[in-house]
Amino acid sequence: MSSSADATSTMSDTTPGFLSKERIIAGDGYNRWLVPPAALAIHLCIGMAYGFSVFWLPLSKALGIKEPIKCGADIGFFQELFTTTCDWKVSTLGWMYTLFFVLLGSSAALWGGWLERAGPRKAGVVSALCWCGGMLISALGVYTHQFWLMLLGSGVIGGIGLGLGYISPVSTLIKWFPDRRGMATGMAIMGFGGGAMIGSPLAAELMKHFATDLEVGVWQTFVCMAVVYFVFMMAGALGYRVPATGWKPAGWTPPVQQASNTMITQNHVHVSKVWGIPQFWMVWVVLCMNVSAGIGVIGMASPMLQEVFGGSLIGVDAKFGDLDKAQLTLIAGVAAGFTALLSLFNIGGRFVWASLSDKLGRKLTYIVFFVLGGALYASVPASAMAGNKLLFVAAFCIILSMYGGGFATVPAYLADLFGTQMVGAIHGRLLTAWATAGILGPVVVNYMRDYQLGLGIPREQVYNQTMFILVGMLVVGLIANLMIRPVNAKHFMTPEELAHEKKLAHEKASASEVGNAQGGPVQSNPLWVVLAWIAVGIPLAWGIYRTLQSVGKFFN
């Protein structure tokens, strides 16, 4: 019986399932530059969460087509979930956006540990099923005019797909690029920032194509995008490979840990312990404050530009409140170009700052974010009062680059402090800071603006106090960052615990332990790398082109 059981165990170990982690151990000669485009394929799709607002106006007149059919005063939020006789308000639709990022953070925290053991391929496939399946359920919700289906589909199920897709490549990329941790994660997370840059204009074109006198074209757009995204996400998930245990780049020697550079550990912390480690909470505060301030800026950048500079944006000497409808439409177009410009800096900053952190170190990079960012936030009221559009726009562009850079740099910061064994799971738990910031930042900014307007302060001045509140957030983040020290040795796994965790994570010394055929073909041909990058580069280039068209409106 024992020998039979052993044989069965051996068979199960040597014949892993198609989605299992053992099956994707890279063979000798595998080119690690095939992994970033696989991660980008997933992140460019789930990044459309940032661009879902493109659907709000069409959905707000899904029944009325030309004009919204307004609900009666007796129809509250819960009645709107099930009503089929009137259109949804934009404010109601915005709850889907809130759910995206709450579920992203919470699902990443809940299932991050599972992801480390199951591997990126299985997590990527589940992410594709959730994100794209959620869009199909939302399409049904639009077709039947049932908002609860949209919340369940894209909000809840899609939000879970967001969380798993977002963290799926983190641990894998860090292990493939131990010499360039920041750059590697920056490439993938850049894709999340760029998802809306592709998805928003694509959705607009599809809605225009499907719109008729009886349809606004949203449910058909959801179906089309779900199919396209599923193809890309599955290609990315199936393209993931993990390095064999102990693999390192040719010619690279791990740096010897010096007493002067103990911020980069060679040991590993178990994800179950991070809640009790002070450094985790310091990094949590660092991310939360950086994101809260950045989200606050993103939310108010467009209206702030319009209300501060008013008619001067179109060469008219008049304040915002004195403009007519046609003039307001013109400056709204200018503001849209400004928002597009900010999105480019948000995306570029993710790669540039994360790559730079490999040279500066993570702690110093965040010091730059908070010190330089605080100075720029504080400068905005002065440049606004002086009517200096160049300084105003430059400040916001750099601020948004550091907002994106904060997202992309934090996975490498975690790997430095807590080791690489469970960095994906730890990153998942840290994303609760993002969920918190997604509520904190907009609430502070919006309520402060309304309060200032209620006091009778002119529109062009209502943002001054808000900017200094955001400076205060950055000061809190700076203090937390300065307090970060190397993790105490007592928190690290012992060699026995690490070996046990590697066994649970199905790590193998080489692809030959499960068979090279199962580990995947050796893909050392540079042509594969070129084709993979072209596959993600073409849609990204198209998105940048469309964004630059919008930016042109601002400079014109």
CATH number for the domain that contains residue 438: 1.20.1250.20
CA distance linking residue 106 with residue 433, whole number of Å: 10
Does residue 416 fall inside a structural domain?
A: yes
Average pLDDT, the chain: 86
Q: How many domains does the chain have?
A: 2
Picking from 493, 519, 546, the residue at the C-terminal end of a domain is 493
Higher-pLDDT residue of 29 and 226 is 226
Percent of the chain topping pLDDT 90: 50
pLDDT at 268: 93
- Burial class from Cβ neighbours inside 10 Å (0-12, 13-18, 19+) for residue 140 reads middle
Does residue 37 fall inside a structural domain?
A: yes
pLDDT at 386: 86
Higher-pLDDT residue of 135 and 502 is 135
Higher-pLDDT residue of 7 and 520 is 520
pLDDT tens digits, residue range 252-292? 887 665 444 467 888 999 999 999 999 999 999 999 999 99
User: Does residue 337 sit in the same domain as residue 455?
Assistant: yes
Picking from 493, 523, 547, the residue at the C-terminal end of a domain is 493
Does residue 15 fall inside a structural domain?
A: no
In DSSP terms, 492 is beta-bridged to 269
CA dihedral 327, 333, 334, 340 (to 10 degrees): 170
How many Cβ atoms are within 10 Å of 503's Cβ, its own excluded?
10
pLDDT tens digits, residue range 411-450? 999 999 999 999 999 999 999 998 888 778 777 777 777 7
Does residue 425 fall inside a structural domain?
A: yes
CA distance linking residue 502 with residue 116, whole number of Å: 10
Give which of 294, 201, 212, 30 is closest to 551, Cα–Cα.
Answer: 201
pLDDT at 9: 37
Give which of 535, 550, 552 is closest to 42, Cα–Cα.
Answer: 535
32 pLDDT higher than 80: yes
Amino acid at 292: S
User: Does residue 435 sit in the same domain as residue 516?
Assistant: no
User: Does residue 295 sit in the same domain as residue 427?
Assistant: yes
Does residue 13 fall inside a structural domain?
A: no
Residue 2's pLDDT band, with cuts at 50, 70 and 90, is: very low
pLDDT tens digits, residue range 48-86? 998 888 898 899 999 998 888 988 888 888 888 888 889
The three-state secondary structure class of 269 is strand
CA distance linking residue 112 with residue 426, whole number of Å: 7
Does residue 11 fall inside a structural domain?
A: no
- Burial class from Cβ neighbours inside 10 Å (0-12, 13-18, 19+) for residue 143 reads middle
This prediction's pTM = 0.86
pLDDT tens digits, residue range 84-101? 889 988 878 888 887 887
pLDDT at 3: 40
What is the domain extent for residue 361?
Answer: 261-493
User: Does residue 239 sit in the same domain as residue 268?
Assistant: no
User: Does residue 205 sit in the same domain as residue 237?
Assistant: yes
